[in-house]
Structure 1
Amino acid sequence: MNSCLIIGAGNVARRILPLLKGLGPVFTLCRRTEAFPQWRTLGAVPLLGDLDHPHTLQRLTGLAHTILHFAPPGSTGRDDARTRHLLAALGRGTSLPQRLVYISTTGVYGSSAGAWLDETSPVHPHTTRARRRVDAETQLRAFGRRTGCRVIILRAPGIYGERRLPLERLQKGIPLPLENPWTNHIHELDLARSVVAACTLGKSQRVYNVVDDQPLTVGDFYRCLAQHHHLPLPTFLPLSELEKTLDPFNLSFLKESRRIHNQRIKQELRLDWRYPSVRSFLK
């Protein structure tokens, strides 16, 4: 893989580092020096920089053959300034990255009222958060066309893992929507495996939905978690009632319902999921 630079050093990056061992040097961009020791322990070379402050990104120019871009957009505005700053830094040098894998979100599709969607479905973001993701995808594709960099976009749904489960919602008894929308999920290890597969098998300017094999309604998802962890299932209320108590951020997830196909990523990237469903993970 030659040299690799990870932007957005979080849980997925931690999952990926063991999969990259022996393939070349791996750099991680960190906003604070306090994070350096843990990334060195994991085998990466930490670099200090902040996507919100472009003057800190000078060391990224010409640094890596492969860019793994996991950083989310900022919390305001309609565009993704972080991706714009990153691409400006990457494009300054004479040595440009040869491939870039970006983790986007299935939220760019908006709601389909539970109907099935695939990568050919048009994007229709309902929130400013999802619109910023669409902007990031647009910027990255333009960068790929302009520079010849092979850009692959992975659209992920709700990401979960051993330490990434919404148990606090069950513990607090926060109500769920009576409308019971459809949701999609992916375990963070399978997402990490998808990124590595995309580096070798992903087609240029290609979008892949990284979702497991079994969409669940919100009710079924929390019912599985409640039964496994011996927690009470919350009450169900109409969305019109939840709008009075839930914050807009959490409410936005409950207003969208979609089921997403994953045939393209399984066929083209030759992937079988370690956790094909939330139920298989809990077992």
Structure 2
Amino acid sequence: MHGMIATRILRRARVLIVGCGDVGLRAVPLFKARAAAPRVIALTSHRERVAELRAAGTTPIVGDLDDRASLGRLAGLSSTVLHLAPPQKEGDDDRRTQALIAALSTRRRSVARGIASPMSPHRAWRAWFRASFRTASAHAQTPVKTAHIVPDVPDAPFAATRRRPPIRLVYASTTGVYGDCGGALIDETRPVRPENARAKRRVSAETRLRRAAVRGGWRVSIVRIPGIYAANRLPLARIERGAPALVADEDVFTNHIHADDLAAILVRAILRAKPQRAIHASDDTDLLMGDYFDRVADAQGMARVPRVTRQEAEARLEPITLSFMRESRRLKNTRLKRELGYELHYPTIDDFLRR
């Protein structure tokens, strides 16, 4: 009897979240809300977070993407992966994603009785796609009306089957990969042109994951993320200390997404995003950076930050802040709405601030 229970637990569908911070924790209840709720496994490099992650409903495992020897348990652990971990802080190459790919690519026989070794990734994916195409298409026209409802589409990425399907991975990248676009309105076909080491590491991660998809038959989707906001992620400290923004005629356009919307978009991307494709996780806000600070300050009853010229900003602000003030772009979110069928819970920052 105990052996049957153990086997059933081992066969339960699993989702691995790599880098389970604020957004990852917001995604956990969305996974749990599904009819066939998967077991959510959270990889953490900090042992002190184990209790917090367990309390949030995950099964935490300790491993460090900077230490490949610590990642042995990831081999064969899950065929559905949400990769939210940032790259390391130096260099142009994302060595952490390289280590994750190596760990996930390692073959290991399942310890559950009756589960066969994986079939060819290409064969497994084609079999699942043929079986689910009609059902997924039937739901593709139904938008989600709240960030807290996950679409009712086939659970194949979460399914615990006798033959393990190829890896389904969604990577949380950044819109910084485009560099400065001069305020142009761009979609996902815009060529990447990273202008700082931070963005170069993200391009490195995207490239490595796409190559892994070609080699191993993985299904990889990239979600490019702008500035994230929420009640606990507003620039209040910056406003309080009076860090300046640029004068209007020298200011840059920024893009935004609420953390709850982002979590729901990432879960939906696992279910619906097309393989080897990028999607902008951006809301409908069209604001200059200084105007964003003003909206937040007004909503909180705080004094607005001073405005300075770009030359003055270069002398007063730290390099990392200046790097964000050198890039201007506006993001189209057509794929988000049409391909994922996602309806934003917070269409604009103003919608959030009014609430």
Give yes or no for TM over 0.5: yes
C-alpha distance in 2 between matches for 1:78 and 1:111: 18
Q: Which has the larger radius of gyration?
A: 2
2:301 matched to 1:230? yes
C-alpha deviations, 1:183-209, integer Å up to 9, x for none? 000001111111111111111101001
| TM-aligned CA deviation for residue 245 of structure 1 | 2.0
| TM-aligned CA deviation for residue 241 of structure 1 | 1.2
Where does the alignment leave 5 or more consecutive residues of structure 1 unmatched?
none
| 8 Å contact from structure 1 (residues 69, 102) kept in 2 | yes
2:47 matched to 1:33? yes
Q: TM-score, normalised by structure 1?
A: 0.98
C-alpha distance in 1 between matches for 2:65 and 2:220: 19
Aligned length: 283
| TM-aligned CA deviation for residue 239 of structure 1 | 1.5
C-alpha distance in 2 between matches for 1:247 and 1:204: 39
Secondary structure at the aligned position of 2:278 is classed as: strand
Which one of the candidate residues 181, 186, 190 is aligned to 1:121? 190
C-alpha deviations, 1:132-161, integer Å up to 9, x for none? 100000000011111111100000000111
C-alpha deviations, 1:7-57, integer Å up to 9, x for none? 011011110000010521111011122111111111100000111111110
C-alpha distance in 1 between matches for 2:77 and 2:166: 8
- Alignment correspondent of 2:178: 109
| 8 Å contact from structure 1 (residues 62, 97) kept in 2 | no
- Alignment correspondent of 2:325: 254
- Alignment correspondent of 2:282: 211
C-alpha distance in 2 between matches for 1:213 and 1:272: 11
Which one of the candidate residues 6, 15, 20 is aligned to 1:9? 20
C-alpha distance in 1 between matches for 2:53 and 2:346: 26
- Alignment correspondent of 2:336: 265
Which one of the candidate residues 206, 210, 235 is aligned to 1:166? 235
Amino acid at match of 1:4: V
| TM-aligned CA deviation for residue 247 of structure 1 | 1.3
C-alpha distance in 1 between matches for 2:54 and 2:97: 25
Secondary structure at the aligned position of 1:17 is classed as: helix
C-alpha distance in 1 between matches for 2:59 and 2:323: 37
| TM-aligned CA deviation for residue 97 of structure 1 | 4.8
C-alpha distance in 2 between matches for 1:227 and 1:101: 36
| 8 Å contact from structure 1 (residues 2, 65) kept in 2 | no
- Alignment correspondent of 1:192: 263
40 and 253 in structure 1: CA distance in 2 versus 1, 3 angstrom threshold: same
Secondary structure at the aligned position of 1:164 is classed as: coil
| 8 Å contact from structure 2 (residues 294, 305) kept in 1 | no
| 8 Å contact from structure 1 (residues 12, 189) kept in 2 | yes
| 8 Å contact from structure 2 (residues 41, 61) kept in 1 | yes
C-alpha deviations, 1:164-185, integer Å up to 9, x for none? 1111111000111121210000
Amino acid at match of 1:246: L
2:231 matched to 1:146? no
C-alpha distance in 2 between matches for 1:41 and 1:234: 39
Query: Which consecutive segments of 4 or more residues in structure 1 shift more than 3 A?
Result: 94-97
Amino acid at match of 2:324: F
Which one of the candidate residues 59, 69, 73 is aligned to 2:73? 59
C-alpha distance in 1 between matches for 2:40 and 2:196: 34
Which one of the candidate residues 132, 135, 138 is aligned to 2:201? 132
